[in-house]
Amino acid sequence: MSGEPSFESFWPEYVRAHSQPGTRAIHLAGTLTGWVLLVLAVALRHWWWILAALVISYALAWISHFFVEHNRPATFEHPLWSWWADQKMVALMLMGKMGEEVRRCAAASN
C-alpha cells in the first residue's frame, strides 16, 4: 500500500485482489452463509453454529483465492480491514455495483 496505511488505501488493493467474478461469487456465498448461520445460532441458541459460520465463510473465501484468483487472502495481513472490505464488497454486489468498482480500481492502478 502506498502512503500511510488506511482502509481507504487498502480498499483498491482488496478490490484488485478480487478481480475474478468467480472469486467474488464464492465470497458472496460464504459471507451470506456466515450471516445466516450467525442469525440462526442466536435465534436457536446453537452457539457452536457461530464457529461454523466463521469456518465456512473463511474456508470458501480462501478456496476462492487459492484456486480461482491464485493469490494470497488479505485476511493474513489485515484481518479487520479484510473483514470490513468483504462486507462492503458483498453489499456492492447485492446492489449490482461491484463490477463498476472493479473497473474503477483497475483503471486507477494503471
Tens-place pLDDT, residues 46-72: 999 999 999 999 999 999 999 999 999
Q: For 59, what's the count of Cα atoms within 13 Å in the CB-facing half-sphere?
A: 8
Q: For 63, what's the count of Cα atoms within 13 Å in the CB-facing half-sphere?
A: 13
Q: What is the distance between the alpha carbons of residues 78 and 104, in angstroms, rounded to a whole number?
A: 22
Residue positions counted in the chain: 110
User: What pTM was computed for the model?
Assistant: 0.90
Q: What is the distance between the alpha carbons of residues 2 and 6, in angstroms, rounded to a whole number?
A: 10
